[in-house]
Structure 1
Amino acid sequence: MAAPTAHATKGTGVAGEDKQSLLEGFKAFLTRGNVIDLAVAVVIGAAFTNIVNSVVKGVINPIVGAFGTKDLESYSSCLKGSCKTVNGEVDGIQIMWGSVLSATLSFLITAAVVYFLMVLPMAKYLARKSAQDRAKAGVEEVMEVSELEVLKEIRDALISQRGSGHGSAS
């Protein structure tokens, strides 16, 4: 069966098997359920990004802009020339560092909200669940140890019976 695959892919049997395993791996990925979780995360992330961007543009930028201009994104520096608009074109080389600052603030706020509202509570929940699982495992481990002790006693009894039986037959 590997030979037709090798001829169909115009390569070695290994290449055909790689293509099959690649497709099988992709199928397994799709059927695992992670794709649905990922799609939901992307949609929620996109909606969440819109909220954070609105907060940054509507609240944070005006507060930061209160120390200078009203619009944070209009902060800029000129490397060459006067950076004045002449006939619709900017004269000189303008660095728009205000938009970088705005994007950085947006990123930091998004990261803080994700960390404090999603990551930290989930970590606490998982730690609590892990502690509960360890406590349950401790009870099961005690039971396993007692079962192990019983099995050892049975083994020792069988060995002693076998030893006494062989000793009397000799």
Structure 2
Amino acid sequence: MLKDFKAFIARGNVLDLAVGVIIGAAFGNITKSLTDDIIMPVVGALFGGVDFSGYFIRLGAIPASYSGSTTSYAALKAAGVPLFGFGQFITVVINFIILAFIVFVLMRMVNKVLAAAEREKAAGVAPPAADPADVVLLREIRDELKKRNEAA
């Protein structure tokens, strides 16, 4: 079983997948920062708020022992107050759309590069040129001489 496991891990697909997951996680952090730190503040400013992910509707009572801000989504959520966090959901959806668009653009560029490489490959593989007439005649003479020598 250990031998089969080593063979499975050593296959290229598994290693490619591992590299993809690691790079994807790092790329996800970059996208999250782009969304949270650059795009959402602009969207929030357009909608009249500084932090768009802070929009929520409180669905339950605040505990009597709570002494934090009643307008802080993160603090209320940490205190266990039931919240309808539509702003956070919108932030996550926008994050997904940005990530999907970036992946789309990357795949589009890769497809263009691959198509260009295929065109170059197809254009570069030309059929061999026809042999000159004198070369063909010399081959025929050679073949005829071989036949005569074999017959003798």
Instruction: Identify the TM-score tier after normalising by the shorter chain.
Output: 0.5 to 0.7
TM-score, normalised relative to structure 1: 0.55
Give the conservation status (yes or no) of the 8 Å contact 1:73–1:102.
Answer: yes
**Are 2:97 and 1:108 aligned?**
yes
TM-score, normalised relative to structure 2: 0.60
User: Aligned partners of 1:28 and 1:129: how far apart in 2?
Assistant: 33
Could you tell me which residue of structure 1 aligns to residue 24 of structure 2? 45
Could you tell me which residue of structure 2 aligns to residue 94 of structure 1? 83
Deviation at 1:119, TM superposition (A): 1.0
- Greater relative CO (CA pairs within 8 A, separation 6+): 2
Deviates more, 1:103-112 or 1:66-75: 66-75
Mapping of residues 17-28 of structure 1, within 5 Å:
none
**Are 2:85 and 1:85 aligned?**
no
Deviation at 1:77, TM superposition (A): 3.1
Deviation at 1:132, TM superposition (A): 2.3
- Runs of 4+ aligned residues of structure 1 deviating over 4 Å after TM superposition are 26-29
Could you tell me which residue of structure 1 aligns to residue 117 of structure 2? 129
Give the conservation status (yes or no) of the 8 Å contact 1:84–1:90.
Answer: no
Give the conservation status (yes or no) of the 8 Å contact 1:74–1:98.
Answer: yes
Could you tell me which residue of structure 1 aligns to residue 39 of structure 2? 60
**Are 2:60 and 1:72 aligned?**
no
For the aligned residues, what is the CA RMSD?
3.2
Deviation at 1:38, TM superposition (A): 1.5
User: Aligned partners of 2:21 and 2:120: how far apart in 1?
Assistant: 31
- Fraction of identical pairs, as percent: 35
Could you tell me which residue of structure 2 aligns to residue 33 of structure 1? 12
